Amino acid sequence: MIQIRKSRNWTIAGVTSFLLFLALTFAVMLNSTKLNLFDTSIQQIIQKIVNPIQTNIFAIITFMGSPLVDIVLTLGIALFFWHTRNRKTAIWILITQLLGDAIAFFVKEFVQRVRPTKQLIPDTGFSYPSGHTFSTALLCLTILFIVLPDIKNQKKQFVLAVLTVIWFCLVAFSRIYLRNHFPSDVLASLLLALSWWTCMYEGYLHYSYQSRFI
């Protein structure tokens, strides 16, 4: 019963996130005036706090939150599960991250939104959605819902959960601060990551439940 309730909650979260992502994507492709005002207003607020020291810090954060680094960290987590003989979970973790990054890249190439002007740290490619934010979100979700349950110490669980959420927020904010992405790019990445991860996680929960009776 608990497993079914969990699956139902994730279904609602995933469907809601995906619908919001689709709505946001259409708004971007239609060059919505309201969406542009939303992005511009946030950019103007952040512009007031820009300084060289913070720029250097966020440059480091954005590098550490890059898809390549996320994949390396995900590989490390997968190897840990593989080493503990939980090989199917290890494979699931890798597929979720790698295939998810591929989907985000496809969306980016399909929408082809131009990046913001006056980037503090130049970046290439299209803007929507943010690959850094998407990839980091998948990594953080994996830590929160796959890694944490294996940690028995509740204090360690809490600390790691807090650090994980803070790290995601820092990476997401760094992309807007450095003007590599519009705020809506980052929001879209979170929504897409939630919907994709939910889809994969439901399969994971279903398999885990079925395995009890095999």
Secondary structure of the chain as H, E, C letters: CHHHHHHHHHHHHHHHHHHHHHHHHHHHHCCCHHHHHHHHHHHHHHHCCCCHHHHHHHHHHHHHCCHHHHHHHHHHHHHHHHHCCCHHHHHHHHHHHHHHHHHHHHHHHHHCCCCCCCCCCCCCCCCCCCHHHHHHHHHHHHHHHHHHHHCCCHHHHHHHHHHHHHHHHHHHHHHHHCCCCCHHHHHHHHHHHHHHHHHHHHHHHHHHHHHCCC
pTM equals 0.91
- Which of 2-6, 18-22, 139-143 has the lowest average pLDDT? 2-6
Average pLDDT over residues 155-176: 96
Q: Taking 60 as the threshold, does the pLDDT of residue 151 lie above it?
A: yes
- For 26-67, the pLDDT digits (tens) are 999 999 999 999 999 999 999 999 999 999 999 999 999 999
- For 64-91, the pLDDT digits (tens) are 999 999 999 999 999 999 998 788 899 9
pLDDT band at residue 3 under the 50/70/90 scheme: very low
Q: Taking 70 as the threshold, does the pLDDT of residue 4 lie above it?
A: no
Q: Taking 80 as the threshold, does the pLDDT of residue 6 lie above it?
A: no
